[in-house]
Amino acid sequence: MKNLLLVFIGGGLGSSFRFIISKYLNVSSLIPYGTFLVNILGSLLLGLILGWAMKSNSLNSPINLMLGVGFCGGFTTFSTFSFENYSLIKTGDFLSFSVYFFGSIILGILAVLAGIFISKFF
């Protein structure tokens, strides 16, 4: 029950931060920069958390559940990302779709790798 509560708290905090960032950055632009930013930052943070957890052999620790599963899970959003890509395709803006889609996927993976790499120094 404690682990569920930690994930719940982390998820609520992550979702709240995502809401605030998206509210201010997803305005009057073809590419939803708020969603893009939270997904890349969330990927970097998850890489840092998992890299540190692997290094310290503590993958199942309560802090990893709260930050990795809860916060990062609430902070990042695949469903919004998917809908925004659908919207770009529907409007026929294939250039923005391509930049947003491929940029998010490639930079997200690179951010996880960067987080794991950076965690080796802590």
DSSP letter for each residue of 78-94? HHHHHHHHHHHHHHT-H
pLDDT digits (tens, 9 = 90+) for 41-56: 999 999 999 999 999 9
Return phi, psi of residue 54, to 5°: -65, -40
Q: Where are the domains of the chain?
A: 2-119
Q: Is 66 exposed, middle or buried (0-12, 13-18, 19+ CB in 10 A)?
A: buried
The greatest distance separating any two alpha carbons of the chain, rounded to the nearest whole angstrom, comes to 48
Report which of 84, 99, 103 is spatially closest to residue 43, judged by C-alpha positions.
103
pLDDT digits (tens, 9 = 90+) for 56-73: 988 789 999 999 999 999
pLDDT digits (tens, 9 = 90+) for 94-117: 999 999 999 999 999 999 999 999
Give the pLDDT of residue 122.
86
